[in-house]
Every structure is written in structure tokens, then in C-alpha cells.
Structure 1
Amino acid sequence: MVVLQRIGGLLVRLVEVVLVLLLAGMVAMVFVNVVLRYGFNSGLTISEEMSRYFFVWLTFLGAALAFRDHAHVGVETFVRWLGPRGRLICVALSNAIILLCAVVLIWGTWRQHAINASMTAPVVGISMIWVYGVTYVTGLAIGVMALGRFLLALAGRVSEAEMARITGDYGPDGAGRAE
């Protein structure tokens, strides 16, 4: 279990570094292009296209990290009315639905794979599977996390702190807030 946690931590760190590099690359390309256009009446032709592709990867990888941290928007009004067992059922059900959506995302990407692989970017000339293939990574990452959470919920092994973090129920005074 400790080995899996260590590998998971390293993967998260790697994704965070990739996100920083993608954001830095976007900022650098756009900044240089603006300076070249307004200062020297020229520009980099690949800047706009590559910064768009970087943004796609940044968004999808960031969504996987946000899912890991329970940072996506959630509506807890109904869940707060439930007792511990009802909350556990909601956690299991929501993660089952998320797992289904992750499978559909991977399956849809697989169905589009040949089309995306055969198309090339107009300016850069790379295969579009390098752009849209990020959905494989995101679907797999979110799917694995949702499956783990689903199995923990089925086993009833979701702690009170984790339940508070998931449902957003920190109590009237904010106590129990898991950060």
C-alpha cells in the first residue's frame, strides 16, 4: 500500500510539473508573439496554435488533479440532509457514475483515434492524436480514482474526515474540515 501511495505521489508531482511547463510555455509563446507583432510587425506562426494545444492539455490534466482533490463544483444541499449511510450511498453512486463517464470518454477517444491520428495540425503539422489523446490520460486517471473511491464506499471504509471533504459538510463552526 505504501508503494502505491509513493507511486501515486510521484505521478501527481509529475503531472504538476507538466502543468507548470505547459502554462509557462503558453505564457512565453503568447508574450513573445505579442512583442513581435506590436514591436516588430512580425510574429511566430506556431505560437497561436501551440498555445491552444497547451491549453487543452492544461485543462484536461488539471481536471484530473482537481478530481483527486475533490475540487470540482458539487451541490451538497441534498447530501447534507442524509445520515452517514445515505451519504455513503451517494458517494458510491456518484463515483459509479463518474467511472461510467470516464469509460465513455476513453471509449469515445478510442473510436475517434484513427480519425485524429490521420489529421495533422495546419501550422505545426503534428498528428491531432497528440492533442486529443490527452482524453486517454484524463479518462484513465479519473476512472482509476473513481473506481478506488467506489470500492472504498462499497466496503464502508470512507472515514468521517473524508466524508466531510467529499460532501462539504464541515459542521456549523467549520470543524472537521479536511484540508
Structure 2
Amino acid sequence: MARAVHLFFRFLDILLALLLAGMAIMVFVNVVMRYAMNSGIAVSDELSRFAFVWLTFIGAVVAHHHHQHMGMETLVARFGRRGRTVLMGLSDLLILGCAGVLTVGTWKQLPINASMSAPVTGLSMAWVYGIGLFTGIGIIVITAERLFRLLTGRITEAEVAAFGGDHDDILPDGSTRGHME
């Protein structure tokens, strides 16, 4: 299972790189064409905007998986292990709530978006904004798994330390240097 998860997130990393490269190429070509030939490719403007939306929403799932989102480490660092685990649980519950709102809202909005088409490509807008379903469900699954491990006592010391901002204290094997109280 861990290998499948690793491969999935590796695929997402590659997809993000391709989206970013495609977006940069489309914008660059359009800038050069507008400057040199006084014209541009309308499709590339629209597709680069869509790529940016997908890049942002897929990137949110990847960042959440790698624990790279912003946190209140200054406050959390003041607590010992027990306080950090309580705060981690509360944080996970809030994340589940917000991701649930995103998922339900996207689901309710999907029929409206499906009935609209992009002005240049004619692509259904459900393809653009439907990515919110992937993001919401992805964050729910990642957070629910972490919350389950927290509640069953399977959370690692390295995760608790990282939650408190002790990134420097994590050793290559995933253990910590033992600075937590």
C-alpha cells in the first residue's frame, strides 16, 4: 500500500511539473508572438489559466501530504508531546471540516459548471473547477488517515516534532533527537 501511495504522489509531482512547464511555454510563446508579430494564440491564454487552477489545487494535496502547509509553529512549539498531539487532533478536525465544505460545495456547483463552456476552447467548465473534488477528497483522505493514526497512538515522534516546527531535529531514519518534553 505504501508503494502505491508513493507512486501516486510521484505521478502527481510529475503532473505538476508538466503543468508548470506547459503553462510557462504557452505564456512565453504568446508574449514573444505579441511582441514580434503583434498577434497571439487565444487558446494558450485560456489553457494556461486552466493549468494554473489545476496546478494550485493538485499542489495543495501534494503539499498537505508532505506537511508543507503553513502552521502556527511558534505557538505549538511551546507545548510538549501531549499538547502537540491535542493541537494536531484539533487541527486535523478543522482541516476535515474545511475540506468537507470544499468537496460538498464543488459537488453542488458541478452541474452549473458543466452547463457552461470556456469561451475559446469550448471545454466544459466542469473540467476546470471540478478539480476541487480531487482536492477536497484528497485532503480528507490524507487527514483522516493521520487522525486515525493519532487516535490509535501510531503517530510517529518525527510527525509530532515536525508539527511543532522541530524540522531540524528529525534524523534521516525518521526519529528525533529527543528535544521534546
Q: CA deviation at 1:24?
A: 1.1
Matching residue within 134, 140, 152 for 2:149: 152
Query: Quick check: 1:17 aligned with 2:41?
Result: no
Q: Does the CA-based 8 Å contact 1:30-1:47 persist in structure 2?
A: yes
Task: Please list every run of 5 or more consecutive structure 2 residues that lacks an aligned counterpart in the other structure.
Answer: 175-181
Q: CA deviation at 1:177?
A: 5.8
Provide the C-alpha distance between the structure 1 equivalents of 2:74 and 2:40, rounded to a whole number of angstroms: 51
Instruction: Give the equivalent residue in structure 2 for 1:175.
Output: 169
Matching residue within 19, 23, 47 for 1:50: 47
Look up the equivalent residue of 2:65 and give its one-letter code.
Answer: R
Look up the equivalent residue of 1:65 and give its one-letter code.
Answer: V
Matching residue within 120, 125, 129 for 1:132: 129
Query: Quick check: 1:73 aligned with 2:67?
Result: no
Q: Does the CA-based 8 Å contact 1:33-1:47 persist in structure 2?
A: yes
With normalisation by structure 1, the TM-score equals 0.91
Q: Does the CA-based 8 Å contact 1:23-1:54 persist in structure 2?
A: yes
What is the percent sequence identity of the aligned residues? 50
Query: Quick check: 1:115 aligned with 2:112?
Result: yes
Q: CA deviation at 1:25?
A: 0.8
Instruction: Give the equivalent residue in structure 1 for 2:163.
Output: 166
> Over aligned residues, Cα RMSD in angstroms?
1.4
What SS class does the counterpart of residue 125 from structure 1 fall into? Answer: coil
What SS class does the counterpart of residue 157 from structure 1 fall into? Answer: coil
Provide the C-alpha distance between the structure 2 equivalents of 1:155 and 1:82, rounded to a whole number of angstroms: 21
Q: CA deviation at 1:53?
A: 0.7
Instruction: Give the equivalent residue in structure 2 for 1:101.
Output: 98
Deviates more, 1:74-83 or 1:111-120: 74-83
Q: Taking structure 1 as reference, are residues 46 and 95 closer, same or farther at Cα in structure 2, changes over 3 Å only?
A: same
With normalisation by structure 2, the TM-score equals 0.90
Query: Quick check: 1:36 aligned with 2:33?
Result: yes
Task: Please list every run of 5 or more consecutive structure 1 residues that lacks an aligned counterpart in the other structure.
Answer: none
Look up the equivalent residue of 2:129 and give its one-letter code.
Answer: Y
Q: Does the CA-based 8 Å contact 2:73-2:163 persist in structure 1?
A: no
Deviation track 1:60-82 (CA, whole Å, cap 9, x = no partner) reads 11111111111111112222222
Q: Does the CA-based 8 Å contact 2:118-2:124 persist in structure 1?
A: yes
